[in-house]
Amino acid sequence: MTEKRNLMAGNTFGHLFRITTFGESHGGVVGCVVDGCPPGIKISEEEIQKELDRRKPGQSSITTPRKEEDEIKIMSGVFEGKTTGTPILLLAYNKDVRPEEYQEIKDVFRPGHADFTYTKKYGFRDWHGSGRASARETLARVAAGAIAKKYLKEKLGVEIFSFVEQVGQIKTDIYFNLVTMEEIESNIVRCPDHKVAEEMIKLIEEVKSEGDSIGGVVRGVIKNVPVGLGEPVFDKLNADLGKAMLSINAVKGFDIGLGFEGTKLRGSNHNDPFHLENSMIRTKTNNAGGVLGGISNGETIYFRVAFKPVSTIKKEQLTVSKDKKEVKLEAAGRHDPCVLPRAVPIVDAMAALVIMDHFLRHKAQNYDYL
Amino acid sequence: MTEKRNLMAGNTFGHLFRITTFGESHGGVVGCVVDGCPPGIKISEEEIQKELDRRKPGQSSITTPRKEEDEIKIMSGVFEGKTTGTPILLLAYNKDVRPEEYQEIKDVFRPGHADFTYTKKYGFRDWHGSGRASARETLARVAAGAIAKKYLKEKLGVEIFSFVEQVGQIKTDIYFNLVTMEEIESNIVRCPDHKVAEEMIKLIEEVKSEGDSIGGVVRGVIKNVPVGLGEPVFDKLNADLGKAMLSINAVKGFDIGLGFEGTKLRGSNHNDPFHLENSMIRTKTNNAGGVLGGISNGETIYFRVAFKPVSTIKKEQLTVSKDKKEVKLEAAGRHDPCVLPRAVPIVDAMAALVIMDHFLRHKAQNYDYL
Amino acid sequence: MTEKRNLMAGNTFGHLFRITTFGESHGGVVGCVVDGCPPGIKISEEEIQKELDRRKPGQSSITTPRKEEDEIKIMSGVFEGKTTGTPILLLAYNKDVRPEEYQEIKDVFRPGHADFTYTKKYGFRDWHGSGRASARETLARVAAGAIAKKYLKEKLGVEIFSFVEQVGQIKTDIYFNLVTMEEIESNIVRCPDHKVAEEMIKLIEEVKSEGDSIGGVVRGVIKNVPVGLGEPVFDKLNADLGKAMLSINAVKGFDIGLGFEGTKLRGSNHNDPFHLENSMIRTKTNNAGGVLGGISNGETIYFRVAFKPVSTIKKEQLTVSKDKKEVKLEAAGRHDPCVLPRAVPIVDAMAALVIMDHFLRHKAQNYDYL
Amino acid sequence: MTEKRNLMAGNTFGHLFRITTFGESHGGVVGCVVDGCPPGIKISEEEIQKELDRRKPGQSSITTPRKEEDEIKIMSGVFEGKTTGTPILLLAYNKDVRPEEYQEIKDVFRPGHADFTYTKKYGFRDWHGSGRASARETLARVAAGAIAKKYLKEKLGVEIFSFVEQVGQIKTDIYFNLVTMEEIESNIVRCPDHKVAEEMIKLIEEVKSEGDSIGGVVRGVIKNVPVGLGEPVFDKLNADLGKAMLSINAVKGFDIGLGFEGTKLRGSNHNDPFHLENSMIRTKTNNAGGVLGGISNGETIYFRVAFKPVSTIKKEQLTVSKDKKEVKLEAAGRHDPCVLPRAVPIVDAMAALVIMDHFLRHKAQNYDYL
């Protein structure tokens, strides 16, 4: 094997509201430390669990059958039911761990997976269920995001939700502004357009039966964001949202407002005219997606997140082994035929973490405090 | 005016190779400090200027007529023609400054611009040509990027280039792998597909004559990236590339590899099979765009960057003034009808900054140093 | 009670080798996440435990009688006995927890403690054994430091140790260069000068019998540091060592080389002349303490760390309660009459964390890698 | 020469109020970028110049005769006399530059200087007047500190000053609480105890006439700091103050409150009892130096900073050349016989930068904003 071995130190997200995640897919635990959480927030394991249950495996016929309760424990930073302003340790023990299932892929680089790059970067890899590269890590993000989401909702009225807009070629045109959390949660694919949802489910079942997988798009929505969040010129709100989403496993694209579609328009059509609404300055249209010059303008933020099809499939694939032999691979491991329904709470969580961090950064410099 | 006033501290990009930019559109200077540049690199003002000339205004009939030479000066950190490892100050003086042209928009929020959000965030704004929110700031990025680009090319053979793939509805299907820098630079729109380039130029001229603007897409390409760059789980190479691009003025979207298109595929089609090529492990296809699990896999990195149409247009628009009156606006200020041709070197520069920073981060932990 | 409530986000130390600590004195757990640890290092719980045992309470007649095994668990980031380059979670459960003992001080600000400042900063405090402000947090530093120490020793030959140089007025003049770890560990006060050690122990026992406490000085020593560590102008090696030490509970001062004593000298006496030793460039004297211009010069680094007397005493003190009444306080809680003997491994650990982080930063930019 | 070459990226200080300095002793410019400065602060070049004049060379008979006006220019980030919240570029051109004076030391490692370590770290060095390692860099700190100092004074009433407490063996026992800025500035050595000041001046003149140099101690004082600044457990206020001071050229030690002296006391004497003063909670004594648990408690912060004697002397010294030959050196270059009088404004500036940054961090999390 290669002699080059490297490490990583990229497991922290955020500046003032910061999370550091840890844990492997088939190791003992997965979790995170939340540093910078304001004190005095009432938070319980039950509230966090509620978000985690939306992400957990085995929740429906179209998700992986791995059985994990993803039971979260608050281990520090909360005193008498409230955050104290000190680091919060959130921990979930892995239960349905079957390292033996990965024995056969131990020396083989699975296509689409991080097996090859981790091995080259670090010199070897934890081959039990993708180790650290597993999407199981996102459990920690959802747990931390639940705290941010609660704070933002209660203190600022910020509402964050997302839904499955597209699976494969099937796409809903539902207007995000009319969507409610209830409708999103009303079906197992998390698409609020019931008719399209049925088609999506059918497609996923079909793909599953073929041992294949399918990609899709999640639409994210953030309402009631205060004006002024975002720190140009590099830490623009849209740039940090983009980074947050692109750091999620399997994400290959992000756009905000009209995004790629808007590139076809002329300025006279794309610009959102300002006008007065109940003596407040608002834009008539919202093609910008709630962000101007990298700073929130008070309009609804909406964006798209592109997920590639899950790399684990049950079809035979060609690949290469660690000792440089070309081999055939029939993938082991339980998996999701389509990651989108479980990705929805992850997108929510990352959005909450970004808004929370930028809210604190913004507040640091609020002039009228003095 | 509002009493709420805030500040920003988001003007630094990178961890080990870090740039901090400063300067306003119509202020005295624009520039940056580069900290963390390896010592011993030969660099001259001429080399940096070459990149800047690709970005500068007035370079062709389809760019803004503002006359700026964007003459760069190396003010520190270079000794006897070589970098010393200490901070490099890069400075360009603004020359064609006409603050008086902005008098009439001083109290008005231009649609699509950051006038409104900056005023709300900071309490007031430098209204001379958008102040800090002007794309003039990207001059500093291009200058710093030139150093990174040179280092990466000479030391590692990394090649970075980008081109205009789409303007409005006009799009080239040219295969990025066949594109050369010469062809990109062979026409004023920077599209290497000559026939399509002509159509694009025609469209931009048409849009210009109407006093309007148009958006488009830049395709970025990075070749010969070493395997192993990227720091999961948050500082994935694709996430940092995305953030870099989304921090450029007018950018509304980013995708990598097959990106949004790839969401329609099945895993069996999307996965890139590994095979041996001259006894090296390579992928047969490159749908992933050179990144697996957030780490470079040695294949070519390619991505798209979506630019909205320029906000400054010469058509009448409705808007609101600082004192909350609805007014009509006929935009002042010289502008680009289409920002794409000048955006190409900016995309190059941001790509170089990301790769450089990740290369140093990767090297920090290279095991075989010991 | 005050309405002002704040949070903190200062629980992370280091740039490339980063630790984030969490946990409270009488909460469930104390521990940390180590991010950026190079992969491939053999590390066991036993090795870490060995360092922790030097810090743990109840180890001798002159330390607090609290009974904690401080049993450390490696929960992630290690695979088949080696680090993987991913985050390492280190965890110890609190066992001898007696929150009820703190009931009576719950509403009272203990002099010398952080009760007052935490309450004012965060709006309330976890009053169980000082919560987060307890020196129990340093357990996590020692655990993380053990990994750094091992790496530095094995890969670079760096040796780190410290000892008690002064307790109250009693001081040893032993030359640090002659001290060995064995001698330091040969007595319970961790002073390698046996005669002085006996006096120190006697003093501490006396102080203890009076229900009082006493301060002192730890001498830190780092041998075989490679030339070149330290990142001017702000992240000088001495500046980061100073910050590391000053972040330890009860530390009020730090100096390096001749330090405060050296201020009385003239340059002609203080300057260390260079000469050749076995054809290596060395200094004849080492008044600078191994650092020139903020960068290690290859000579032994030595420094002093000043600890104030422990704030918890069993004597009656005057103070004020939360509801602003002047009250008398007879302190509850078990405590150390002198923190110095247990501080020695903490100083070692912080030194190891600083050297490790700077070694990786230095290596990031090592030119001959290319 | 060595093949090992490295770089540095340690030229940024602060988190929310951040400065990045650049420039060499005998290069074109010295200066910094201030990022994160709140908008709306009135600031002029004259105000900054006033602080710089206290640091500039040639100000008296006991400082270096180098003639530099250190004329500061505000190049960006200020609009109509007020900060805009965007990066502020502060620039001073070097004028009295005599690189030729350094020709003879070009290949020689001066004892006490960074010549050796810079050469080993970066592969070569800018030998013109110590290049980046020169204390000339502190000009930028003083300029940035002037803005912070003004903000803190006007908005919060914070007062920052420091003075020379000791030169060689000569020491004043003046009580810092009674010292005024006027008295500090009333003599050229900046010691408010006039009798002792005369002795100090005499000593410095003596040392100067011998071609030697002498060290000393600066006492720093910060009054009216709001309760609550400091971010445990690592970014404690005292830890960041210590780092700030230890990053200044020639500083070898720092202590706060009773510091090293306090280590000799018992807890019953060292603890500061709380009591009520005009119904405010205050401490009767202030042995802690205004910081408890790493957080400001509202009492005056006072600390000591130890400066070694200046390394440049006019006496013959033994040393080694780049090509490893033992040589004699008679130092060239103009220098200060005692750096203390000019160090006073630098200590002030670093204190202001730390308090400012921590004030913004504290404010970020202020609960009652909501």
The ipTM value here is 0.95
Residue D2's pLDDT band (boundaries 50, 70, 90)? very low
CB pairs B-C closer than 8 Å: 42
- Return mean pLDDT, chain B: 92
Query: Would you tell me which residues 282-311 of chain D have a C-beta closer than 8 angstroms to some C-beta of chain A?
Result: none
Residue B333's pLDDT band (boundaries 50, 70, 90)? low
Give yes or no for residue C367 having a pLDDT over 60: no
Q: What are B174-194's pLDDT values in tens digits?
A: 999 999 999 999 999 999 999
Report the gap between the CA of C136 and the closest CA in chain D (Å).
Answer: 11
Amino acid at C64: T
Query: Would you tell me which residues 137-156 of chain D have a C-beta closer than 8 angstroms to some C-beta of chain C?
Result: 137
Per-residue pLDDT, C292: 97
D311 neighbors D134 (Cβ within 8 angstroms): no
Q: What average pLDDT score do residues D134-138 get?
A: 93
- Return mean pLDDT, chain D: 92
Q: What is the CATH number of domain A12-369?
A: 3.60.150.10
Report the gap between the CA of D75 and the closest CA in chain B (Å).
Answer: 6
Q: What are B125-145's pLDDT values in tens digits?
A: 787 778 889 999 999 999 999
Closest CA to D18 of B357, B245, B33, C243: B33
A85 vs B349, more confident: B349
CB pairs C-D closer than 8 Å: 408
Residue A177's pLDDT band (boundaries 50, 70, 90)? very high
Q: Using CB atoms, which chains have 3+ pairs under 8 A with B? A: A, C, D
Per-residue pLDDT, D5: 38
For residue A157, the SS3 value is coil
Residue C168 at interface with chain A, using a CB cutoff of 8 Å: no
Closest CA to B198 of B232, B172, B227, B226: B172
Q: How far apart are the first and last CA of chain B?
A: 60
Q: Is B8's CB within 8 Å of A231's CB?
A: yes
Residue B169's pLDDT band (boundaries 50, 70, 90)? very high
- Return mean pLDDT, chain A: 92
Q: Is B27's CB within 8 Å of D88's CB?
A: no
Cα dihedral sign, C203-C209-C213-C218:
positive
Q: What are B16-69's pLDDT values in tens digits?
A: 899 999 998 887 899 999 998 988 899 999 999 999 999 999 899 888 888 888
Among A254-268, A352-366, C216-230, name the one with the lowest average pLDDT.
Answer: A352-366
Residue A355's pLDDT band (boundaries 50, 70, 90)? very high
Residues in chain A within 8 Å Cβ distance of D15: 15
Q: What average pLDDT score do residues A195-212 get?
A: 97
Q: What are D180-239's pLDDT values in tens digits?
A: 999 999 999 999 999 999 999 999 999 999 999 999 999 999 999 999 999 999 999 999
Domain boundaries, chain A: 12-369
Q: What are A274-291's pLDDT values in tens digits?
A: 999 999 999 999 999 999
Residue A281 at interface with chain B, using a CB cutoff of 8 Å: yes
Beta strand residue intervals within A297-354, DSSP E? 301-307, 316-320, 326-330
Closest CA to B290 of B350, B351, B341: B351
Give CA separation, C291 vs B9, C355, D168, D304, in Å: 32, 12, 22, 20
Give yes or no for residue A330 having a pLDDT over 80: yes
D122 neighbors B39 (Cβ within 8 angstroms): yes
Per-residue pLDDT, B330: 83
- What gap in Å lies between CA C45 and CA C272, rounded to an integer? 43
- Alpha carbon of residue B40 to chain centroid: 27
Using the structure block, give the residue that is written with the tokens 């660099």: B43
Report the gap between the CA of B73 and the closest CA in chain D (Å).
Answer: 11
Residue A249 has which token pair? Answer: 């496993």
Residue D202 has which token pair? Answer: 């005499």
Residue D129's pLDDT band (boundaries 50, 70, 90)? confident
Most confident listed range (B101-105, C35-39, C328-332, D200-204): D200-204
DSSP-assigned beta bridge partners for residue C74:
C90
Percent of chain C with pLDDT over 90: 77
Give yes or no for residue A342 having a pLDDT over 90: yes
Q: Using CB atoms, which chains have 3+ pairs under 8 A with D? A: A, B, C
Task: Please state the φ and ψ torsions of residue A168, each to the nearest 5 degrees.
Answer: 55, -125
Beta strand residue intervals within A241-338, DSSP E? 251-256, 274-277, 280-283, 291-292, 295-296, 301-307, 316-320, 326-330
Most confident listed range (A22-26, A68-72, A242-246, C100-104): A242-246
Q: What average pLDDT score do residues A3-25 get?
A: 77
CB pairs A-C closer than 8 Å: 173
Q: Which residue of B has its CA nearest to D30?
A: B76
Per-residue pLDDT, C219: 98
Residue D301 has which token pair? Answer: 């912060």
Per-residue pLDDT, C366: 59
Per-residue pLDDT, A366: 59
Query: Would you tell me which residues 16-75 of chain C have a C-beta closer than 8 angstroms to some C-beta of chain A?
Result: 16-18, 20-24, 27-31, 33, 35-40, 75
Amino acid at A213: S
Q: Is B132's CB within 8 Å of D89's CB?
A: no
Query: Would you tell me which residues 76-105 of chain C have a C-beta closer than 8 angstroms to some C-beta of chain A?
Result: 76-77, 79, 82-89
Residue D100's pLDDT band (boundaries 50, 70, 90)? confident
Q: What average pLDDT score do residues D126-146 get?
A: 91
Per-residue pLDDT, B3: 34
Q: At what angle do helices A340-364 and D340-364 cross, to 10 degrees?
A: 130
Per-residue pLDDT, C124: 77
Percent of chain A with pLDDT over 90: 78
Per-residue pLDDT, C370: 33
Per-residue pLDDT, D362: 86
Q: What are D137-191's pLDDT values in tens digits?
A: 999 999 999 999 999 999 999 999 999 999 999 999 999 999 999 999 999 999 9
Q: What is the 3-state secondary structure (H, E, C) of C82-99?
A: EECCCCEEEEEECCCCCH
Per-residue pLDDT, B100: 76
C137 neighbors D294 (Cβ within 8 angstroms): no
- What gap in Å lies between CA B359 and CA C213, rounded to an integer? 52
DSSP-assigned beta bridge partners for residue B255:
A253, B304
B91 neighbors A271 (Cβ within 8 angstroms): no
Per-residue pLDDT, B364: 74
Q: What average pLDDT score do residues C75-90 get?
A: 93
Percent of chain D with pLDDT over 90: 77
Per-residue pLDDT, A3: 33
Q: What are A94-124's pLDDT values in tens digits?
A: 987 777 778 888 889 999 999 999 999 888 7
Q: What are B352-362's pLDDT values in tens digits?
A: 999 999 998 88
Cα dihedral sign, C133-C134-C135-C141:
negative
- What gap in Å lies between CA C294 and CA A271, rounded to an integer? 53
Give yes or no for residue B204 having a pLDDT over 90: yes
